[in-house]
Amino acid sequence: MLGKLKSLGMLADKLNGMHLIFILPKLMYASPAWSSSLSSTQQQQLDNMQKEASRVILSPAYTNYNDALTILSLLKLSARH
């Protein structure tokens, strides 16, 4: 979804808003109930999804995930619960 919107010319701040409104809630739905039972592999998979979203939102200025989290005012998904 983000890649398509980016290709249509949507700016990074709007893409980040779309991520926060539509994607992040689906990834975090009921996380207090299931987060403690995630394996490290599953936590890494969640972070990888957000990492890819960050890459799309910030490209071509994306440098690394930690900087992207700071720029976009996000936390790692594995740290949100």
The total number of structural domains in the chain stands at 1
Q: pTM of the prediction?
A: 0.83
Answer whether residue 62 is part of any domain.
yes
Q: What is the mean pLDDT of the chain?
A: 89
What band does 80 get if pLDDT is binned at 50, 70 and 90? low
Domain that includes residue 14, residue range: 2-24+40-79
Answer whether residue 31 is part of any domain.
no
pLDDT higher for 60 or 79? 60
pLDDT of residue 46: 85
pLDDT of residue 52: 96
**DSSP H or E segment with residue 43:** helix 40-58
Answer whether residue 32 is part of any domain.
no
Whole-angstrom Cα distance, residue 10 to residue 55? 14
Answer whether residue 56 is part of any domain.
yes
4 pLDDT above the threshold of 70 = yes
CB-count exposure of residue 78 (10 Å: 0-12, 13-18, 19+): middle
pLDDT of residue 45: 86
